[in-house]
């Protein structure tokens, strides 16, 4: 399973992908048609995208993921900050996206059921 952690900002996002082989790939994309196409290049059927709800800024991303049936978990910002507190040393967008991806690697089963939104055909509630 691959995980992509996304730190959503105004107009663009920082993302970190952690592959099944634990390779780390860092990239940014804009919240536009071409930007979401760039994000899709990293997505496979075994990919989960994890990001914090940031209100207006994350809505375009959430809508794109839902419309394209891309597996994702949208976390409450408070829960995400509590879960990544032990990983937080340097606060910046690239580090935050890495920490969110690491949540997928280390606590996937727990956050999958606690996340606000999830698209996964294996579970009827998603």
Which CATH number fits the domain that encloses residue 71?
3.30.420.60
Residues 122, 71: Cα–Cα separation, whole Å: 11
Q: Which two tokens stand for residue 83?
A: 């879960």
Q: Is residue 105 part of a domain?
A: yes
> Which residues 6+ apart lie within 8 Å of 92 measured at CB?
none
Residues 28, 35: Cα–Cα separation, whole Å: 8
Q: Is residue 59 part of a domain?
A: yes
Q: Which two tokens stand for residue 38?
A: 């760039």
Q: Is residue 121 part of a domain?
A: no
Q: Is residue 124 part of a domain?
A: no
Q: Which two tokens stand for residue 101?
A: 């991806």
**CB of 50 closer than 8 Å to CB of 72:** yes
Highest mean pLDDT among 15-19, 34-38, 95-99: 34-38
Tell me how far the alpha carbon of residue 119 is from its chain's centroid. 12
Does pLDDT of 123 surpass 50? no
Residues 98, 90: Cα–Cα separation, whole Å: 11
Number of domains making up the chain: 1
Please write the tens of the pLDDT for every residue from 24-70: 999 999 999 999 999 999 999 999 999 988 888 899 999 999 999 99
> Which residues 6+ apart lie within 8 Å of 56 measured at CB?
none
Mean pLDDT for the chain? 80
* Length of the chain as a residue count: 126
Give the residue numbers spanning the domain of 40.
Answer: 2-114
Q: Which two tokens stand for residue 114?
A: 């606690």
């Amino acid at each position: 399973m691959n995980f992509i952690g996304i730190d959503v900002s105004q107009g663009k996002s920082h993302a970190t992908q952690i592959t099944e082989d634990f390779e780390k790939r860092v990239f940014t994309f804009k919240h536009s048609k071409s930007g979401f196409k760039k994000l899709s290049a990293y997505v496979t059927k075994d990919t989960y995208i994890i990001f914090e709800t940031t209100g207006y800024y994350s809505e375009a991303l959430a809508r794109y993921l839902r419309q394209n049936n891309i597996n994702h978990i949208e976390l409450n910002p408070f829960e995400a900050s509590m879960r990544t507190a032990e990983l937080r040393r340097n606060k910046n967008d690239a580090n935050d996206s890495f920490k969110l991806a690491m949540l997928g690697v280390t606590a996937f089963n727990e956050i999958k059921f606690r996340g606000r939104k999830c698209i996964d055909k294996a579970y009827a509630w998603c």
